[in-house]
Amino acid sequence: MSLRRLSLFISVLATTGILNSEEVQAQNITPARDGTGTIITPDGNRFDIKGGSPSGDGQNLFHSFQKFGLDAGQIANFLSNPQIQNILGRVVGGEASVINGLIQVTGGNSNLFLMNPAGILFGPGAQLNVPANFTATTANGIQFGEEWFNAEGINNYQALIGNPTAFAFTMGQPGSLINAGNLEVNPGQNLALLAGSIVNTGQLAASGGQVTLTAVPGQKVVKISQTGHILGITITVPDAEVRQAEDWRQPIFNLYDLLAEAGGGDELGVVIGANGTIQLTDPNVTIPNDAGTAIASGDVDVSGETGGTVGVFGDKVGVVGAEIDASGTNGGGNVLIGGDYKGQGTVPNATQTFVGSDSTIRADALSSGDGGRTIVWADETTEFYGNLTARGGFNLGNGGFTEVSGKENLIFQGTADLSAMNGNVGTLLLDPRNILISTAPNSPDEVSSELPNIFQNQFSDQEQITINSSTLEGITAAITLEATNDITIEDGLSLNFAQSTNSITFRADADGQAGGDFSMDQSQSITAPGRSIEISGANVRTGNIDTSTNNIETEVAGGAITLTATNGTVTARQLDSSATLGNGGNVSLNSIGDLEFESINTQGGANGTGGEVFAESTEGLFRATGFFLDQNDVEASISSAGGLGGGAITIGHAGGPLNPPVETFDVRDSAANQTLPPTNGTAAPIVSGESTIAPQHIDNSLTSGNITINTDEIPDGGPGTTPRVNETDDTPPREPRIIPLVNANKRPACAPIDANLPEVEEGYTKEFEQLGRPRDNKPKPTLLSVCNSLGQVAAKTGVKPAIVYTRFVGEELELILITDEFPPVIERPGVTREEIQPVVEKFKGEIYQGRENTIFTDSAQKLYDYLIYPLEEHLNKLKVEENNESQNINLAFIMAPELRNLPMAALKDSDGKYLVQKYSIGYMPSLTLTQVDYKDIRNAKILAMGSTEFQPLADGDTEDPLAAAKFSLEKIINLWPAGGSQPLINERFIKANIEEARQKEPFGIVHLGTHAKFGAEESYIRTWNEKLTLEEVRSELGFDDPIIKLLVLSACQTGVGDSNIELGFAGVAHNIGVQSVLGSLWSVLADETLLILMIDFYYQLGEGKIKAEALRQAQINISKGYTRIKNRGEKYILVVSNNPDKPQSQGIEIEIPESLNQKFEALAEEDKGLPPQYWAGFTIIGSPW
């Protein structure tokens, strides 16, 4: 058989129709005189169908017709009542039903079944108006329990209770069914066609419901799991010991006979050709006249709010000239053509499946949600030339899942779009037995560059599929190659992939039975910058694998490397997942037998951490035979060092006394010119940047810092004994970091294996990326990397950090808490979007107006109960008593759009405490867009600028003066430990001077004391002589080169904006590379109150507090009067951080210039602190640390 064309059952031929559409006729409806009691009452063009025989429980109603057909314009009206669940009609006269009118059910919500074993043809005028499911079948019996509703003969209607459970096709070749009409059921309902052969050229629709076409060979029984649920079906041979349906002894119409009987023409879309073949008219193809053939042409539509399900089943299945749509506004649906995933499941499998190039299958998510699931399967040969899409939602969602599989033969020459604008690319699976990657052309030659993935199973005539290396290397989407046997890269061939963040997977021995291996020439390499590579097989042999990134401008992470031998050994050479600037990728090696490689380099760059290393041989030995010079000039076999910290290294081997022969783990000295590699161990030291395992013999398990070597030892002190730590002269003893473990892979409890960040992370990231400069190949944090970063922040700062996502699932609010202490916590407080939004608006309105009254307290406490109280039990677990004081907790909120400009600091608990009195607070756009590592900011210099007055613009526009700006900027510079430049004041505060100052010195802090506005109609920051537009802020100030650690916008309305850009200029500045931003959620009431808060903030920051804690202390001090203006005679003094409860910390005092006395006079009378309207609007955005 040719693998390039469908010669077996579909051949493209010229066609000539011999029948005219005017000849399509239909007979009337007549009742059968068999005692069933069906009554037909004509009323014009309508035939009312009543009477019939009920089942014993009254839920089923049966009709019997001698003939059943409709001319154009005629109506068959089945009368029902609310008690009737199913109406079933049989046609006993031996004539096929030609239906060209409307079938409807009135008076009830009954499912409708129409059974005519002779055959059924729905003409172009056929339509449905039914309230529930509709099934048309050429079966000769429908089963209820152990009883049958027979198409011929006498039935015991009283015994036919419950729902149908099976359809009998006991004849040699069952009758055929053609649909050229427009058959549509109501949303969420099911439409099923079951016949010996089926051809659809019309329209079938069930919005969000289910449409199935099932062609059944003769002498079979189709069993279903529930009424109308045809996707839970199996086709079996009738059981000789169980009573079957009565045989059908009347004529049976195959496709040829049915067309001839109908006298149809081109309007049917299928005709009898000049040579007696059966031909579709558009496209012009010949289709077989064999039983078990299902042809889907025309339109099949189950699109809706969520896509429904389409199934096309038979022995031979063709999708030709078809539009199949299972898309959904909130998620794609399911399409099964010829079978289910890998031929498994409960639906019948085709032996041959064909999808033509003129066919489209869609299972897209249109707005939000994931793309759908589509399967094209055949037990023998699948040929796919069509177009398939299962795209993620426009706003949020991942691409879908698609399998195109031929268990014996597979040809794929179509297209598959599984993309996602705001999510992860989906997966396309294709199936050979063996894969050879070489420079030869693809074989079969239809394997094209559009493949993202190739999956397992076999070719009977050609057991190996060859993939051209250039084709493979050009793919930037996620790639998966899977074979039941071997995957081989041709000798002398290296693979060089383009940089991307999408994964590459090679999976040999996919079924775990054939013992397939992955192998390549060890003198060659696989290079894939930034991409994770996963290779598995019974045995794995690779050359060099390089996923490192060498980007010196952006922090692009190295890709992860995973090698797994499921039944043998791993042999590799140099494994490099390092990064020049960002984080190194993790490396994981797992084998049953020996594990051997030359070296592992997971080093992080200057602004990154090293990747983790986990390498374990459960029953063999461990050998690292080479070394390299790491970033600290150490010759190492393994190095995970990084500019911001090293990754953990865990090694496991079976060389201990529990698995003789005993082989000591030997760390050798690369400088000693030892020519033979160790039998078990490394050729050079093991380095993490934090710790080093220097040359030594290691008999038992060892832990030094974040490096662990495990062996199957018998502990010296018995169970529970802490392994000893071997320290060397150049490795000072250090306290091991205690991390709660949940599994053998030494993962921290807060990040279970393979856990990802919440899906909402990706959506929020995409939303905020639109505000700033595009950041190609940005690192995507995982739950594990975030967990480790939070742990490092806690260790370096003494503050316990916690991430809180808020989102709406449907309409219900959901909170997600991530810490470094325990797995993510998900809570739903039981409040909807509609319920919380009025409370939010009332709360903000009361604060803006300065009304701290009963109404304010009520809304503040409600919001606390919604957003904080459900998490407090978990937050309390983070509190650690140190020096008789509870360790500070920082909450970083990643907010749903509806909550983004909510002043969280002013929420109140049931005791009347502000939230800021209990926790420091910050906002993040998303974790992906936030630098979550901690950097001490006290050595950074300040570039301060602002204006006390403003030059009028050409249009006469001006701004109110900020009299305290000059004094504020000068005092901030004087207070700050590292100092700063001379402030750019008034006429010196212009764009050119800002750019010049940034070019001369890399100021780590930029402070802007000026007016600003950020809204739907106008957005700007005001300098002395102009308004800097949003685009100018983005493109000309260059806040990301070099990176600003803190941007302070002590201006008006810098944090609020329209619904599309809720974080205002603060969000924009963060997106272009600033680590942290201090911004205001509303207009600053007066620049003198702004001066008070800013000076206290910088004072606290200079004392070594993290940014959010410095702001928290300043807000508490202002709210309680610890920082305030005092009148001392003719002078006004700013007293900063003078807490009477802490006499050991009296803060500082600053004299106010006489020129500003009048402005501060009123504030001198406020000795009990200021209300939230003065301080709650300021917040840290980005990294709160």
> What averages of pLDDT result for each successive group of 10 residues across the chain (1185 residues)?
33 30 55 94 95 96 96 96 97 94 97 97 96 96 93 94 92 93 96 95 96 92 63 65 78 88 76 80 81 94 95 94 95 94 84 91 94 91 87 89 78 77 78 73 42 32 63 71 85 90 84 82 95 93 95 83 92 96 93 93 93 90 92 93 93 73 82 66 92 88 89 44 32 29 45 59 73 54 81 85 89 89 85 89 77 63 93 82 59 88 90 92 86 81 90 81 88 89 90 85 87 69 84 69 81 51 52 77 73 91 91 92 85 83 73 84 76 87 87
Contact present, 888 and 794 (Cβ < 8 Å): no
Strand partners, 482: 507
Which of 1103, 1130, 1159 delimits the end of a domain? 1103
Q: What is the pLDDT of residue 498?
A: 85
- Domain assignment of residue 926, yes or no: no
Q: Are 908 and 942 in a shared domain?
A: no
Closest CA to 382 of 342, 354, 413, 347: 354
CA distances (Å), origin 231, targets 213, 308, 938: 10, 12, 65
471 sits in which H/E element: helix 469-473
809 phi and psi angles, rounded to 5 deg: -100, 105
Q: Are 951 and 1054 in a shared domain?
A: yes
Q: Are 153 and 191 in a shared domain?
A: yes
- Domain assignment of residue 418, yes or no: yes
User: Which CATH number do you get for residue 970?
Assistant: 3.40.50.360
* Helix, strand, coil in percent for the chain, rounding step 5: 15, 30, 50
Q: Are 909 and 1002 in a shared domain?
A: no
Q: Which H, E and C letters describe 50-75, residue by residue?
A: EECEECCCCCEEEEEEEECCECCCCE
- Sequence-ordered list of residues with C-beta below 8 angstroms from that of 1105, at least 6 positions apart, any chain: 1113
**Rg over CA atoms, the chain:** 37
- Domain assignment of residue 776, yes or no: yes
Q: What is the pLDDT of residue 1071?
A: 58
Which of 646, 679, 711 delimits the end of a domain? 711
Contact present, 270 and 294 (Cβ < 8 Å): no
Q: Tell me if residue 95 falls in helix, strand or coil.
A: coil
Contact present, 462 and 444 (Cβ < 8 Å): yes
- Sequence-ordered list of residues with C-beta below 8 angstroms from that of 629, at least 6 positions apart, any chain: 635, 636
Burial (0-12, 13-18, 19+ Cβ within 10 Å), 759 = middle
Estimate to the nearest angstrom the gap between the alpha carbon of 636 and the chain centroid: 38
Q: Are 306 and 284 in a shared domain?
A: no
**Domain count within the chain:** 5
- Sequence-ordered list of residues with C-beta below 8 angstroms from that of 404, at least 6 positions apart, any chain: 376, 382, 384, 388, 410, 412, 414, 416, 428, 429, 430
Distance in angstroms (rounded) separating the CA atoms of residues 747 and 366: 38
Closest CA to 338 of 327, 350, 328: 350
Q: Are 516 and 542 in a shared domain?
A: yes
Q: Whose structure tokens read 């911001």?
A: 644
Distance in angstroms (rounded) separating the CA atoms of residues 1122 and 327: 60
With 0.75 as the threshold, say if the pTM is over it: no
Beta strands in 173-209 (DSSP E): 176-179, 182-185, 190-195, 197-200, 203-206
Estimate to the nearest angstrom the gap between the alpha carbon of 165 and the chain centroid: 38
Which of 1076, 1103, 1130 delimits the end of a domain? 1103
Q: Are 878 and 952 in a shared domain?
A: no
Q: What is the pLDDT of residue 264?
A: 59
Distance in angstroms (rounded) separating the CA atoms of residues 902 and 219: 69
Q: Are 628 and 697 in a shared domain?
A: yes
**Whether residue 829 has a cis bond before it, omega within 30° of 0:** no
- Domain assignment of residue 1149, yes or no: no
- Domain assignment of residue 1131, yes or no: no
- Domain assignment of residue 920, yes or no: no
Closest CA to 542 of 516, 558, 563: 563
- Domain assignment of residue 1124, yes or no: no
Estimate to the nearest angstrom the gap between the alpha carbon of 295 and the chain centroid: 35
Contact present, 1053 and 1064 (Cβ < 8 Å): yes
Intra-chain end-to-end CA distance of the chain, in Å: 67
User: Which CATH number do you get for residue 95?
Assistant: 2.160.20
Q: Are 892 and 965 in a shared domain?
A: no
Domain of residue 194: give its range: 22-288
Q: Are 332 and 263 in a shared domain?
A: no
Estimate to the nearest angstrom the gap between the alpha carbon of 364 and the chain centroid: 14
Distance in angstroms (rounded) separating the CA atoms of residues 806 and 871: 12
- Domain assignment of residue 947, yes or no: yes
Distance in angstroms (rounded) separating the CA atoms of residues 87 and 855: 61
Burial (0-12, 13-18, 19+ Cβ within 10 Å), 75 = middle
Distance in angstroms (rounded) separating the CA atoms of residues 1127 and 1130: 7
Helices (H), 221-310: 255-262
- Sequence-ordered list of residues with C-beta below 8 angstroms from that of 115, at least 6 positions apart, any chain: 88, 89, 90, 91, 137, 138, 139, 142, 149, 151
User: Which CATH number do you get for residue 407?
Assistant: 2.160.20.10
Helices vs. strands in the chain: H and E counts, helices first: 14, 91
Helices (H), 1072-1135: 1087-1102, 1107-1120
Q: Are 57 and 198 in a shared domain?
A: yes
Q: Are 607 and 553 in a shared domain?
A: yes
- Specify the amino acid at residue 59: Q
CA distances (Å), origin 616, targets 565, 601, 652, 708, 1085: 11, 17, 4, 11, 62
Buried b (16+ CB within 10 A) or exposed e, 49-65: bbebbbbeeebbbbbbb
